[in-house]
Structure 1
Amino acid sequence: MHLIVSVGIFLAVDLALNKAFAAAAIKFPSALFGMFCIFSVLLILDSTVPSAAMALMKFFEPAYMFIHRWLPLFYVPYLVVLPLSVKDIPASSAIKISLIVAGGWLATLCVAGFTAIAIRKAVKTEMIDAEPMERPSPFSSTEVWGWTGVLLISFVAALFYPTALGTQARTCLPFLLASTVLGYMLGSGLPSSVKMVFHPIICCTLSAELTALAFGWLSKLGLEPILGFYLTKESSNPGAGDILMAFLGSVILSFAFSMFTQRKLVKRHAAEIFTSVIISTVFSLYSTALVGRLVGLEPSLTVSILPRCITVALALSIVSLFEVANSSITAAAVVLTGLVGANFVQATLDKIRLRDPIARGIATASSAHGLGTAALSAKEPEALPFCAIAYALNGIFGSVLCSIPLVRQSLLAVVG
């Protein structure tokens, strides 16, 4: 009951903020605003009534531990429907975008990480140990078998009664959701050496897509309609992806508690955090524009992938400022960037010898937004606060920067 109430409050706060921002015609993501508000309240309480801050942390502990346990799962829907987003892109352009995304991710990761280290040396801030963060419990065999049963029963039921729940999307929802959850559980149980190159997010995505492919073949509907049922973006007719993405706002709100746990480190290393995020965001935008022009990518596609390192919600807001942009391409590029980051971030950080959680967190979130954050923090919880604040600041600064007409014109000039 404690878990249900605490998660319910997160969802209710996110919904209320969404409605308030929509009513005020504010395009900025309401959850990021809410995250900073919660963080500020906790800081104020900590300095005035510490016991109240600790009581608030204790009350919401079940909610943010639940979210942390399932964190990568909530970023999967855009990956599952990726085939629908890229189907109309020419093969040559798709290859160029993929190269820009992969190379750009690595370059941004290095710029953000090494900038953080350089700033620390310049201001002579000594590194201190992060507060230990509790790791989520592993998935039990009972959970795995339970979701397997849901998948099999709902899959068969949907084949024989395609509109049993009113619409095909609702009928497909149980087995598509179960296949996504089951894929994540199985991927999480893989050996660490395998997960270094085959992250649970990949396993989760493949599980959902293979299930959709099997149902499309058996029902004679084909893959594309089933993937369309996965993410409908209709509140009256939701799919499995819509259910998962409904938690995204709560995920961002929960980051405030992780940031508060490491508040001493966040305050101590503010110079590294803010400077590296600003530099990496500017680098990401302008390097993408320049490389797109150099490799001969169509200007409209280059503009569409400019905010590749910024979370989807903010990236779509940014490209709406450019008349020639294609929002579907933007979503695909952002998701692909996150996918590369989620799959390779930990191994790459080890290779380039970025050891401390501050540099690792900042570099990860600045280069691979929410998916990278989810992937790294699942294995290194102590990096989550720095991932969270860099993730938020990266989106905020990118949005503010691109809202300036002079900056937009300069980006278009570089794109050509």
Structure 2
Amino acid sequence: MPPSTTVLSPPNPPPTPGTPPPLPEASGCPRQVLGIAHLAVSLGIVLATDKCLSEAFAAASIMFPSALFGMFCVFSVLVVLDAVAPALAKVLMDFFEPAALFIQRWLPLFYVPSLVVLPLAVRDVPAASGLKISLIISGGWFASLMVAGYTVLAVRKIVKTELIAAEPMSKPSPFAILEFWAWGAVFVASFATAFLNPTALGTTARTCLPFLLASTVLGYMIGSRLPSGIKKVFHPIICSAFSADLAAVAYGHLSGSGFDAALGDYLTKVPSNPGAGDVLMGFLGSVIISFAFSMFKQRKLMKRHAAEIFTSIAVASTFSLYSTAILGRLTGLEPTLTISILPRCITVALALSIVSFFEGANTSVTAAVVVLTGLIGANFVQAAMDKLGLNDPIARGIGTASSAHGQGTAALSAKEPEALPFCAVAYALTGIFGTLICSSAAVRQSLVFIAG
């Protein structure tokens, strides 16, 4: 998602995307309440759809990601409605826009839990293996960027499709001072409660949930307001994870439970006893479903540049998976760790679905590697593309998203709005294509064979 920036608001500013639009002054308060209700209902429907599909797929023992199926269904419904009743399709898009913007605004937070619990995830990973993984994700990111970008340029020379303006992309609102104070109050009150009575809400995980969630959110909001120069080395996601870990250290020390126990309460992976990380990662399926709305919005763009988009994404996704397996084999990385980092260039929500197809994969390592790949891309993608001569907006957009998914997309969007629509489309389609090919038993077996 695009990084938040503070701007001076003119008198009587226009409605800000991602927040309820105000009515005239006389009825502003009722309209705000109505807007909040609209957000709650639309987001609730998306979350409920994801949960129902997940339970149905689990009951039927279907391995294919349920959220991806939901995304296809939503996109198909919108396309059909657009053909037979365009006005109804617009109504549906408008109804779910608050939910889509909410997800876009908080998207980086859904990646953070994997970084927060990284100290536990990598504890059993040897230092030599960690170094190999670092080399694979840094070199692999650059190689994936080259393959995606140059594939676009090659296809564009063949099809010679003229580039036209894309549909404008809505941007979420910046964080208000009131939000800082509200989350700060939640942190102080809930931290004190957990310290005085660690089981006030039944379990330590539930009792610690509010202040650990607040510390994660506050870290992200503070990181989003840092100067751009600092963000290059201290990305808002890192700031968010650091803030949550700091809160866990403080609570573990003051309560005597220890840092490891606090991290265990942060991400329990137990639905009946969720922690703050479980709440945040619970949105990952909804992120995938929300792709349907961004893809539908850019449907004309996808149709016009289908050759460039689909060819480059297919080539880049396949290259990313197989090159990672090959590099893992060549460097002597343990096969289970190689399998765990296969979807390094795919957004967390779908990366976790992909490794679930394989036995023995470490999902914590998967999520952490995906986030680290995104951080590398967010910091270096523009400079790298300039050096590589990737000046075409389509090549820049698809190259960025295919190599660094959402975080790279966020970094590019602030300075290159003409490339953003291609980023948004490639961001979704890269994960979709990777999931589709990995759902094939033959592909999985070949990757396992290569990995050793």
What are the residue-to-residue correspondences of 1:77-92 with 2, within 5 Å? 77-92=113-128
Match among 296, 301, 306 for residue 265 of structure 1: 301
| 2:447 aligned with 1:411 | yes
Say whether the 8 Å CA contact 1:72–1:374 is kept in structure 2: no
Give the distance between the partners of 1:173 and 1:306, measured in 2 at CA: 31
Task: After TM superposition, list the pairs within 5 Å mapping 1:222-241 onto structure 2.
Answer: 222-241=258-277
The counterpart of 1:334, out of the listed 367, 370, 380, is 370
Structure 2 residue 164 is matched with structure 1 residue 128: yes
Q: Distance in 1 between matches of 2:283 and 2:442?
A: 36
Sort the Cα spacing of 1:9 and 1:381 in 2 relative to 1 into closer, same or farther, 3 A: farther
Structure 2 residue aligned with 1:3: 39
Residue deviations 1:159-191 (CA, integer Å, cap 9, x gap): 111111111001110110001111111111122
Change (3 A) 1:107 1:192: same
| Residues 98-155 of structure 1, C-alpha deviations (whole Å, 9 max, x = no match) | 1111111121122112212221221111111222222211111111122112112211
Bigger Cα displacement from structure 2, 15-24 vs 139-148: 15-24
Alignment of 1:6-405 (within 5 A): 6-323=42-359, 325-349=361-385, 351-355=387-391, 357-373=393-409, 376=412, 386-405=422-441
Q: Return 294-303 or 119-128, whichever deviates more.
A: 294-303
CA RMSD across the alignment: 2.5
Other structure's SS at 1:233 match = coil
What code does the residue aligned with 2:64 have?
F
Q: Which amino acid aligns with 1:107?
A: A
Q: Taking structure 1 as reference, are residues 243 and 301 closer, same or farther at Cα in structure 2, changes over 3 Å only?
A: closer
Matches of 1:356 and 1:13, distance apart in 2: 38
Deviation at 1:86, TM superposition (A): 0.7
Which sections of structure 1, spanning at least 5 residues, go unmatched?
A: none
How many angstroms does 1:89 deviate by? 0.8
CA 384–227 in structure 1, closer or farther in 2 if over 3 Å, else same: farther
Query: SS of 2:43's equivalent?
Result: helix
Q: How many angstroms apart in 2 are the aligned matches of 1:171 and 1:221?
A: 14
Tell me how far 1:303 sits from its aligned partner: 3.2
Instruction: Check whether the contact 2:288–2:349 (CA below 8 A) recurs between aligned residues.
Output: no
Q: Contact 2:291–2:428 (CA<8 Å) still a contact in 1? A: no
Distance 1:381 1:171 in 2: 43
Note closer, same or farther for the CA distance 1:255–1:399 as it changes in structure 2 (3 Å cut): closer
Q: Is the CA contact 2:111–2:367 (under 8 Å) kept in the aligned structure 1?
A: no
Would you say the 8 A contact 2:114–2:364 is kept in 1? Answer: no
Specify every segment of 5 or more residues in structure 2 that has no aligned partner in the other structure, as ranges: 1-36
Asked whether the 8 Å contact 2:39–2:98 carries over to 1, the reply is yes
Q: 1:243 to 1:408 in 2, by over 3 A?
A: closer
Q: Distance in 2 between matches of 1:247 and 1:321?
A: 21
Contact 1:29 1:313 in 2 (8 A): no
State the Cα distance separating 1:376 from its structure 2 match.
Answer: 4.9
Q: Which amino acid aligns with 2:134?
A: S
- Cα pair 1:187 1:201 within 8 Å, conserved: yes
Percent of pairs with identical residues? 70
Residues 316/195 of structure 1: CA separation in 2 closer, same or farther (3 Å cut):
closer
TM-score by length of structure 2 reads 0.84
Provide the aligned length of Structure 1 versus Structure 2. 416
Shift in CA distance, 7/409, structure 1 to aligned 2, threshold 3 Å = closer
Q: CA separation in 2, counterparts of 1:371 and 1:300?
A: 26
Moved more, 110-119 or 323-332: 323-332
Q: 1:172 to 1:326 in 2, by over 3 A?
A: closer
Between 1:127-136 and 1:296-305, the stretch displaced more is 296-305
**d(CA) in 2 for partners of 1:379, 1:147:** 30
Distance in 1 separating the partners of 2:388 and 2:376: 16
Does 389-398 or 33-42 show the bigger shift?
389-398
Contact kept in structure 2, 1:135 and 1:381, CA below 8 Å: no
Offset of residue 349 of structure 1? 4.1
